[in-house]
Amino acid sequence: MKLGILSQDINLYSTSRLYETAKKRGHETQVVSYLRCYMNIAKANPRIFFRGDELSFDSVIPRIAATWTFYGAAVVLSLIHISEPTRPLYISYAV
């Protein structure tokens, strides 16, 4: 499974533990700084990029800081909208 962890920094304890555990379980895992993502909001083909590469995940774990909630939520919602209808994107929500 291609797993994306949206976080500001892989060196944060919770992010590094999520990353290590996912790798141990055999998932293809990438930590993405949602603040460095940029979105192409075209009507026909919306896409999200990180460091010049287009993002595509099976599941996403958002680790959004309170100060960046608005932009982080926009990235998560964009990932949901660009997922294929036949293969929905699974998002982990915290309470």
Distance CA 48, CA 57 (A): 11
**pLDDT (tens digit, 9 = 90+) per residue, 66-81?**
888 888 888 888 887 7
Percent of the chain residues topping a pLDDT of 90: 29
What is the distance between the alpha carbons of residues 27 and 40, in angstroms, rounded to a whole number? 27
**Residue 94 confidence (pLDDT):** 58
Beta bridge partners of 28: 2
- Give the amino acid at 90: Y
> Of 65 and 19, which is predicted with more confidence?
19
State the pLDDT confidence band at 95, using cuts at 50, 70 and 90.
Answer: very low
- Kindly indicate the confidence band of residue 21, based on its pLDDT and cuts at 50, 70 and 90: very high
